[in-house]
């Protein structure tokens, strides 16, 4: 699996506080079946100033440590960018996009989306970037009105659900919203958003549950196919139909025939 949203770089946001914790988070990722991780430390004006000139050397140091400790994990650089009015121009200037792609992970104030939320996203898209909105299921506005999420698909915005949301880690309402969004095809990625607390990466449990309740293909799509396309800077469908495979209904005649033929 490819985890496109993590806070494992040490000491620069509210994620891993030190390098030992970062190494532990890399081990947890490998234990969860993750092969690639995008390091998306917060970029939040006035609080976390983390342009690529700061994050990249840290990521390279961590990648070297992974090699030294035989941790088979490939790291990629990125950021989780808090939307503000000057962000559209900062994405290019400060290299806040993911790896060498046009994809950029964004978030906004959870409890009070800014009034210019859609304008900012539009401006980002207009400049050629491909915004991926982090954990939309955690926004109260979306929880009470799923059509906001559906509308975003038509505005060239991809959506990333947190694995912890599916497991109830942010409360029942967020959990319900996350499952509904996946049901309705309002999800392109499932990622951990790990802040390196504890020894587990929640992506493992969430994908097991998703396989059980949906199918293995949905897991494949959200954790491998789409993330691989993202890293290759390939287009990803905004709107798609999430097919639920139903067992074939058999009529009485077919069942009787199969019984007689011993099938
Ligand atoms: Fe995050």
What is the per-residue pLDDT across 59-84, written as a single tens digit (0 to 9) for each?
A: 999 999 999 999 999 999 999 999 99
Answer whether residue 102 shows pLDDT above 80: yes
Phi-psi region of 74 (alpha: psi -120 to 50; beta: other; left: phi over 0): beta
In 3D, which of 185, 202, 181 has the Cα closest to residue 138? 181
Distance 144 CA to ligand 1 centre (A): 22
Average pLDDT over residues 173-196: 97
In angstroms, what is the span from residue 15 Cα to ligand 1's centroid? 9
pLDDT value of residue 198: 82
pLDDT in tens, 147-161: 999 999 999 999 999
Structure tokens at 2: 């490819």
Distance 119 CA to ligand 1 centre (A): 22
DSSP state for residue 160 in the 8-state scheme: E
* Domains of the chain, start order: 2-260 (3.20.20.140)
Rounded distance from Cα 90 to ligand 1 centre (Å)? 19
pLDDT > 80? residue 243: no
Flag the least confident range among 21-35, 40-54, 240-254: 240-254
Distance 194 CA to ligand 1 centre (A): 7
Give me ligand 1 centre to Cα 136, in Å. Answer: 11
224: which 2 tokens?
A: 């491998």
Distance 81 CA to ligand 1 centre (A): 9
Q: What tokens were used for 60?
A: 């390279």
Q: How far is the CA of 256 from the centre of ligand 1 (A)?
A: 55
Beta bridge partner(s), residue 75: 37
Task: Please give the Cα distance from 81 to 99 (Å, whole number).
Answer: 14
Whether the model clears a pTM of 0.85, i.e. scores above it, the answer is yes
């Amino acid at each position: 699996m490819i985890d496109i949203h993590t806070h494992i770089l040490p000491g620069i946001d509210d994620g891993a506080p030190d390098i030992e914790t970062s190494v532990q988070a890399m081990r947890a990722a490998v234990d969860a079946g993750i092969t690639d991780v995008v390091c998306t430390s917060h970029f939040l004006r006035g609080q976390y100033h983390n342009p690529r000139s700061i994050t990249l050397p840290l990521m390279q140091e961590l990648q070297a440590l992974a090699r030294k400790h035989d941790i088979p994990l490939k790291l990629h650089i990125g950021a989780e960018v808090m939307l503000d009015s000057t962000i559209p121009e900062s994405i290019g200037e400060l290299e806040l996009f993911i790896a060498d792609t046009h994809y950029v992970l964004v978030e906004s104030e959870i409890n009070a989306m800014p009034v210019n939320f859609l304008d900012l996203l539009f401006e980002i898209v207009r400049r050629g970037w491909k915004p991926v909105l982090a954990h939309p299921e955690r926004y109260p506005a979306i929880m009470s009105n799923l059509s906001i999420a559906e509308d975003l698909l038509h505005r060239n915005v991809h959506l990333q659900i947190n694995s912890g949301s599916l497991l109830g880690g942010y409360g029942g309402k967020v959990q319900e919203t996350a499952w509904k969004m996946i049901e309705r095809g309002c999800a392109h990625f499932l990622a951990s958003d790990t802040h390196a607390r504890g020894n587990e990466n929640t992506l493992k449990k969430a994908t097991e549950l998703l396989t059980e309740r949906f199918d293995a293909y949905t897991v494949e799509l959200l954790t491998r196919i789409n993330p691989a396309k993202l890293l290759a800077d390939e287009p990803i469908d905004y709107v798609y139909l999430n097919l639920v495979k139903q067992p074939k209904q058999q009529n009485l005649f077919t069942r009787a025939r199969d019984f007689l033929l011993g099938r």
